[in-house]
Structure 1
Amino acid sequence: MPIASVNPATGEVLETFEPLDDAGLDRRLALAEAAFHDYRTTTFVSRAALMHRAADLLDQDQEAVARTMTEEMGKPLAAARAEAAKCAKAMRWYADNAEALLADEHPAAADVADAGAARAYVRYRPLGAVLAVMPWNFPFWQVIRFAAPALMAGNVGLLKHASNVPRTAVAIEELFRRAGFPEGCFQTLLIGSGAVEGVIRDRRVAAVTLTGSEPAGRAVAAAAADEVKKAVLELGGSDPYVVMPSADLAGAVRIAVRARAQNNGQSCIAAKRFIVHTDVYGAFTAAFTEAMQSLKVGDPMDEDTDVGPLASRQGRDDLEELVEDARTHGARVECGGGRPMGWDTGYFYEPTVLTGITPAMRIHQEETFGPVATVYRVAGLDEAVALANDTPFGLSSNVWTRDEAEQERFVRDIQAGGVFFNGMTASHPALPFGGVKRSGFGRELSGHGIREFCNVTTVWIG
C-alpha cells in the first residue's frame, strides 16, 4: 500500500510514495553497514564540518522546509519556521561540542595504580547503525535531536518516520546527502510499521531509539530486549502545570496558553493538567479560559493563525471521545468542546478548557493530544504534588511559585524527567531530555544523549 502525504487542513492527498520492498530494504541496511565501517574512523573535525554544512543548508531552505511540515501535519507556519531554526541550532551545538563531550576520561592516578595499571582511561566509541522510529508532531526536530548526536559520535542513522510525513522524511535524508555526508550515513526507510521489528532484529542494526506512543514503545523495547540491543524510549506525557499562590498570575496564564496550545496541542511535553491552588483558582481559571477562547483557529498557512488542524482524522476523533466521556461524567466545559464553525474540511478542534475532572473520567489518566486543557483545584502543596504524580506518565512538569522552599519540595517529590519553574517545558541541546514511569527511559540531547549510543570502553594498560 502506498505511503500517502495528506494535508490535514483540507484532507487532500499531496503525494504518495511506494514503500521499500524486501530487496530495497536489504540494500539500504547493507549500505548502512558499509558506511559505518569507514565513517566511524573519521575525525570529529571532519564530522563537524559536515554538520555545520547541513545546518547552513537548513537555514537556506527554512521556508521550503517549514511549508513541507505545515502541509503534512498542520502546525502553524510560524511554528514550523521556528522548528527548522531550532534544528540548525542543535546541529551546530553538537558540531561544536561533540569532541569535548566524548573526550577520553582519565581516573585519578591513585585509582589507576590501585587497578594495577600503568595507564587506564575510558573511551567512547560508536556502536553502528542506529534505527530511529520517529513521530509526526515535530517531524524535523524529533529526527535532528537524534541524528545530530548520533552522527557526531560516529554512528550512522536509519530513519523510520511516521507514515503521514513521508515528504519530510525524504527531505531530511536529502539534507544530509547534500551536506556531503558519505553515502549510507543517513537513510530514510519508507516502510510500514509492520516492518520495524524485522529491522530491529537485523544483525546490521546496533540499537534503536523511538519517540511515540506507549504501545509502540512496548513493541520496540520488547524486540530490542529480545535481541539484547540498546534502546532509548521517549513516550507519552500528561505533564502537570502547577500554580501556587506566590506565582506571577498574569505570567502563569500567558505561558499556560502557550504551553497547552503549542503545536496545536500535539506535544508530549505540552502542559495538559493545570493544578491550581484554591487561593488563585478562580482568577486563573477565568483568565485562562478567556485566553484559550480567544485563540484563532484556522488555515495553518495564514500568518495570524494560532491553532491549526490536528494531524489526522483519527487524532481528532480520539480527542472528541475523551472530551465527550468527560462531559458525560460531569465535567464542565468552560470553552470549546467541539469542532469549530466554518471548518467542514480538515481535522480541526476548538481550544477547550474542562473543569470538574474526576477519576471516573478517562481524561484523568489518558493523554490529550490536542488543544484540550483540564483544570483542577487543590487546597495546598501536598495535594498538588499528589495530583501531579497521579498519572502513569512522568515526562516533564511545570510549577509556578516564587517560594524557594516550595521549589525544593517539588524538585524532591515530582516524578518526572524535568521540573520547569515559572516557565514552560522546552527542549534545548545542552539539557538532557527524557522521562520516567511510562514516559520511557534513556535520555536525548546534552552529553547524556550523545553517550546513549556509544560503547563506553575501558582501556587498561599494564
Structure 2
Amino acid sequence: MATEMDSEIVNEPVGGKSGTRRALGFDLEAGVEGGMRSISPIDGCVLGHVHRNMPADAAGIAARAVMAFDAWRRVPAPQRGELVRLLGNELRAAKTELGRLVSLEAGKIEQEGLGEVQEMIDICDFAVGLSRQLYGLTIASERPDHKMLETWHPLGPCLVITAFNFPVAVWAWNAALALVCGNSVVWKPSEKTPLTALAVKQLFDKACQAFGAVPGDLVQVANGEREFGETLVADARFALVSATGSTRMGRQVAAAVAPRFARTILELGGNNATIVCKTADLELARRAVVFAAAGTAGQRCTSLRRLFVHESVHDELVASLKAAYRQIRVGDPLDGQTLVGPLIDRAAFERMQHALACAREQGGKVTGGERTAPEMGEHAYYVRPALVEMPSQTAIVREETFAPILYVMKFASLDEAIALNNAVSYGLSSSILTHDLRESERFVSALGSDCGIANVNMGPSGAEIGGAFGGEKDTGGGRESGSDAWKGYMRRMTTAINYGESLPLAQGVRFDV
C-alpha cells in the first residue's frame, strides 16, 4: 500500500512560499489517485498524499485486529511492556524529527512539537512499569473455606480516534496502555494530520523488529474520512472506542457504540476557566494566563477561554495581560522565536471571527483577534490572540471556540466565581490563583470546581501523564493516560474459590436437597 517517497513529503504546493519540505527521514506514502492530502497550516502547502481507506475496508481492518488480539493476549504482560519500552527508545531517537513533523503538519511551534513527543516517551515509561503492576485484589469472603479474587484481563481490539491538535501524543496515551494490557490497536487519526500517524507507525514497526515475534497488525493506522470512521465505530469487533475530539463527534460515537454495550473513552470539548483572587501573585497570574490562553494558538482542549478576576485586581491584571499580548510573536512555528503559530485552517479562522463578532454584539470589548503574518501566504491563517473584556458570561462565552480567545470578567466573591466556572456544559479543566489556603481548598473540594482537572496557582493546561486526563459533563467522562486509567482497557473478573468440602451459600441461604 505504501511506496517510498525518497526523502520528500511534498510536490504539490497549493499556496504559500515553502515549496517542497523534507520528510525528515521518514519514508511516508507517495501520492496516489484518490488519496488524502495533508496540508501544512504553516503556509497552505500540500505536504503529501496518503492512502485513503474506504468504508469497505473497515471489516478487514477489524478482522485483522481480532487475530492480533488473540495472539497478543497470550503474551505475558511484562513482555508486552518490553515492546512498549522499545517503542519509547525509538521515539527518543527520533524526537527531533518527529517533533518537527508535528510542527509541519499541525502548525505547533517547535518547542510544543518536541513536547508532544516527550509526552509519548513519558507514557511509554509509565506503561513499562505498569506492565508489572496490573494488580487485582484478594477479598475476604463471608463463607468459610472460601476466598474471593478480583483480576484483570485483556479487553479486546481497541479503536483509537485522535484529533489534529495533539496528533501523536493522545494516540500514545491510549496505545501504550492498551498494548501492555494485552489489546490490539487500530488508529484512526484526524484527516488533517495523517502523516504524523504514518511516521509513528514506522517507529512502532522498528520496535517490533527489535522485539521479535509480534503479531501482524497489532497496531494498524487507518486513514480515512468521516464515513470510514463511522463504519469502524459501528463494527462490533471493537471492544473499546477511545475518541478525542468535539462533543458533537463524541455524541455520535456514544450513540453508535451504545447498542452493543461496548466501552467508550470520550475526551471531548472544554471551556476552561481560571479564577484570579485578590491575594494572587499577579506576575505569576500573567505568565500562567498568557501560556494557557495563547499557547498552541488556543487549540488545546485545556486552553484557557474564560478568566474571572476579582474586581479589586481586575484593571491591573488586564493592563498587564494586554501588554504581554502585544509582545507575543505570531508567525512561522519553525522559527525558534515564535510563540504562536497558525490556526489549523480557514474554517477555524472563520469560527474565531464569528465568535468575536458575537462577543462585540453581546457587549464585549475586543483587543486583538486580527489576521496577521501575510508573508506566510494567503492559504495560512495566523491571528493575534484576542483578549475580550465582557460585561458578563454571555451566550458566546459559554460556547467553546477552538481559537486563542480569552474572555475576561470581574467577580466579587469566590462563591460567585465558582458558580461562573461551573455554569457551562463542559467540565474538563479549571484553575485558581490565590494565596489564601481556604480559597484554594474550597475550589478543589466537592463544593468547588466541577471539572475533571482543578489546578492551583497555575493555568488549566499542561497536564502530566502521571494523572488520569479527562473531564465531566459534555467533556465525555473518559479518562486517559496515568493513574488507574489502565483499567479502562481491561475487563474485570471476580472469582470465588471454595477450597473446603462443604458448600455454604452466600448471605446464609439454606438450600438443602
TM-score of the two chains, using structure 1 as the length reference: 0.95
Match among 319, 326, 340 for residue 372 of structure 2: 340
Superposed, 1:147-166 pairs within 5 Å as 147-166=175-194
Match of 2:268, as an amino acid? Answer: L
1:353 maps to: 387
User: CA–CA distance in 1 between the matches of 2:455 and 2:393?
Assistant: 26
Q: Please, which moves more after superposition, 314-323 or 180-189?
A: 180-189
Q: Is the 8 A contact 1:201 1:227 kept in 2?
A: no
2:90 counterpart residue number: 57
Deviations 1:112-144 (A, max 9, x none): 2x0566222111111110111110101111111
Paired position in structure 2 for 1:417: 452
* Contact kept in structure 2, 1:278 and 1:377, CA below 8 Å: yes
**Could you list the per-position Cα deviations for residues 365-412 of structure 1 after superposition, in whole angstroms to 9, with x for gaps in the alignment?**
111212211111111111111111121111010100121111121122
Between Structure 1 and Structure 2, the one with more helix by share is 1
Question: Which shifted more, 78-87 or 116-125?
Answer: 116-125
Residue in 1 aligned with 2:473?
437
Which whole-Å deviations, capped at 9, do the CAs of 1:5-63 have from their partners, x for residues lacking one? 00112111111123124554333222211111110111122112111111111111112
Kept after mapping to 2: 8 A contact 1:200/1:207: no
1:461 aligned to which of 473, 491, 497 = 497
Aligned ranges for residues 332-411 of structure 1 at < 5 Å?
332-333=365-366, 335-340=367-372, 342-343=374-375, 344-345=377-378, 346-362=380-396, 364-411=397-444
Q: How many residues align?
A: 455
Stretch of structure 1 that moved more, 24-33 or 9-18: 24-33
Give the root-mean-square deviation of aligned CA atoms.
1.5
Shift of 1:360: 4.4
Matched, 1:105 2:137: yes
Residues 26-425 of structure 1: pairs in structure 2 closer than 5 A: 26-100=59-133, 102-107=134-139, 111-112=140-141, 114-115=142-143, 118-180=146-208, 181-333=214-366, 335-340=367-372, 342-343=374-375, 344-345=377-378, 346-362=380-396, 364-412=397-445, 413-425=448-460
For the 8 Å contact 2:68–2:218, the answer to whether it is kept is: yes
Q: Is the 8 A contact 1:241 1:397 kept in 2?
A: yes
- Code of the residue aligned with 1:250 in structure 2: it is E
- Rounded to whole Å, the distance in 1 between the matches of 2:145 and 2:279 is 57
CA contact (8 A) 1:272 1:374 kept: yes
Where 1:289 maps in the other structure, the secondary structure is helix
* 8 Å contact from structure 2 (residues 55, 228) kept in 1: no
| C-alpha separation in 2, matches of 1:248 and 1:447 | 31
- Partners of 2:489 and 2:77 in 1: how far apart? 16
Q: Output the CA distance in 1 between the equivalents of 2:143 and 2:113.
A: 53
Q: Please, which runs of 5 or more residues in structure 1 have no aligned partner?
A: none
Offset from partner CA, 1:308-367 (integer Å, 9 cap, x none): 00111111111111012212332112x3121015344311111110102445442x1111
1:2 Cα deviation (Å)?
A: 2.9
Equivalent position SS for 2:331: coil
- Any conservation in 1 of the 2:58–2:231 contact (CA below 8 Å)? no
Q: Is the contact between residue 265 and residue 478 of structure 2 (CA under 8 Å) also seen in structure 1?
A: yes
Give the conservation status (yes or no) of the 8 Å contact 1:235–1:439: yes
> Retained in 2: the 8 A contact 1:297–1:305?
yes
Residue in structure 1 matched with residue 17 of structure 2 by the alignment = none
Question: What is the CA–CA distance in structure 1 between the aligned matches of 2:102 and 2:372, rounded to whole Å?
Answer: 23
Cα deviation digits, residues 71-98 of structure 1 (max 9, x gap): 1110001210111112101111111123
Q: Aligned AA for 1:424?
A: G
Distance 1:22 1:393 in 2: 32
Moved more, 389-398 or 188-197: 188-197
- C-alpha distance in 1, partners of 2:123/2:261? 30
Question: What percentage of aligned pairs have identical amino acids?
Answer: 30
Tell whether the 8 Å contact from 1:356 to 1:376 is kept in structure 2 after alignment. Answer: yes
**1:451 corresponding residue in structure 2:** 487
- 2:38 corresponds to 1:10: no
Q: Is the 8 A contact 1:206 1:229 kept in 2?
A: yes
Q: Distance in 2 between matches of 1:365 and 1:24?
A: 40
**SS, match of residue 98 in structure 2:** helix
Q: Is the 8 A contact 2:186 2:222 kept in 1?
A: yes
Please give the per-residue CA displacement for 1:197-248, whole angstroms capped at 9, x wherever unaligned: 3222323211101110011000000011022111111111011111001111
* Structure 2 gaps, min length 5: 1-33, 209-213, 499-513
Compute the displacement of 1:267 (Å).
0.4
